[in-house]
Amino acid sequence: MHDLWLEFSKVAVAHALAVASPGPDFAIVLKQSLTRGRRAALWTAAGVGSAILLHVGYSLLGLGLLIRGSELWFNVLKYAGAGYIAWLGVQSLRAKPRTGTAAGADLAPAPATGRGAFVTGFMTNALNPKATLFFISLFILVVSPQTPKLIQAGYGAWMALATTAWFSVVAIVFTRAEVRGLFWRHGHWIDRALGVVFLAFAASLALSTFA
């Protein structure tokens, strides 16, 4: 039991460092917070967190080893992820100046339901090959093969919940009235800056090499 707690602590710390580092997940939650509002941002955070379960699932099933061991599958995932994130960047670069005041109008039209925001968050994380390699490596190097699968699934559930919680905090902070008011005045420039960030992430993914 002591060994399991030690193992869990290693998993939790490694995941915390990874999730707190700036990346496409943070950028998309920030964008949704500033352009779509708190409801959409929270759904996006839930989508990012849910994608963690996908990574954990194929790691537990051994499919992660197939991706790690195949340059073809790695490249398929890499270019799909880079293309999706580049598309997000282009959409952001097309942002236009807004008129009126933040008090008198929404910052931007929100999705009709939370589904669109959830899918955006899910796809951003799921198609990130760096996230894929992180979880595969985590389950190979940190988690013992002797650890029961149910316990390993518990690690995954913890990481999904922790990811959702972290990005929910980000969503709440960046949807505060004073922050959104600032965004309204300079919104299109911030959106375009995020577009450049997304394109930089996409280029980084596309240029990443198989190892």
Residue 16 lies in a domain: no
How far CA 182 is from CA of 10, 53, 86, 185, 196, in Å, comes to 39, 35, 26, 5, 20
The pTM assigned to this predicted structure is 0.76
What distance in Å separates the CA atoms of residue 68 and residue 136, rounded to the nearest whole number? 8
Residue 161 lies in a domain: yes
Confidence of residue 142 (pLDDT cuts 50, 70, 90): confident
Q: Is residue 104's pLDDT more than 50?
A: no
What distance in Å separates the CA atoms of residue 166 and residue 85, rounded to the nearest whole number? 21
Locate tokens 């093969």: which residue? 145
3-class secondary structure, 135: helix
Q: Is residue 158's pLDDT more than 90?
A: yes
Residue 135 lies in a domain: yes
Question: Which range of residues forms the domain containing residue 61?
Answer: 27-207
Confidence of residue 24 (pLDDT cuts 50, 70, 90): confident
Cβ atoms of 135 and 63 within 8 Å: the answer is no
Q: Is residue 46's pLDDT more than 90?
A: yes
Q: Which residue type sits at 134?
A: F
Cβ atoms of 116 and 46 within 8 Å: the answer is no
Q: Is residue 122's pLDDT more than 80?
A: yes
Residue 81 lies in a domain: yes
- Tell me, what's the pLDDT at 205? 65
Cα–Cα nearest to 20, from 166, 198, 173: 166
Residue 58 lies in a domain: yes
Domain count along the chain = 1
